[in-house]
Amino acid sequence: MNIWLFQHWQALSQTFKKLVNTPLSSLLSIIVIGIAFSLPLGIYTLLGNLQTISGDTVNTPQLSLFLKLNASHTDIENINSQLEKFPSIASFQFISKEIALQQLQQESSLNDIASNLIRNPLPDAFIINIQQISPDELENIRATIKKWPEVEHVQVDTDWARRLDALLRLGQLAVLMLAVLLSLALVIVVFNTIRLQILTKRDEIEVSKLIGATDSFIRRPFLYFGAIQGMGGAIAAWLLIALSIQAINESLVELAQLYASDFHLNHLSLQDSLSLLIFSALLGWLGARLSVAQHLSQIEPK
Strand ranges of the sheet holding 62-67, from the earlier edge strand across to the other edge: 89-95, 125-130, 62-67, 151-156
pTM for this prediction: 0.63
Query: Which amino acid is located at 266 in the chain?
Result: N
Rounded Cα distance, 248 and 266, in Å: 11
Tell me: pLDDT of 275 over 70: yes
Give pLDDT, residue 162: 65
Q: Which CATH class is domain 62-157?
A: alpha beta
Using the predicted structure, report yes or no on whether residue 59 has a pLDDT greater than 80.
no
Tens of pLDDT, residue by residue over 220-241, are 888 888 888 888 889 999 999 9
pLDDT above 70: residue 257: no
Give CATH 3.30.70.3040 domain extents, the chain.
Answer: 62-157
Report the percentage of the chain scoring pLDDT > 70: 76
Q: pLDDT per residue over 9-26, tens digit each?
A: 766 677 777 777 777 777
Give the up-direction half-sphere exposure of residue 30: CA atoms within 13 A in the CB hemisphere: 22
List pLDDT tens digits, range 110-157.
555 555 566 667 788 888 887 776 666 777 888 888 888 888 888 876
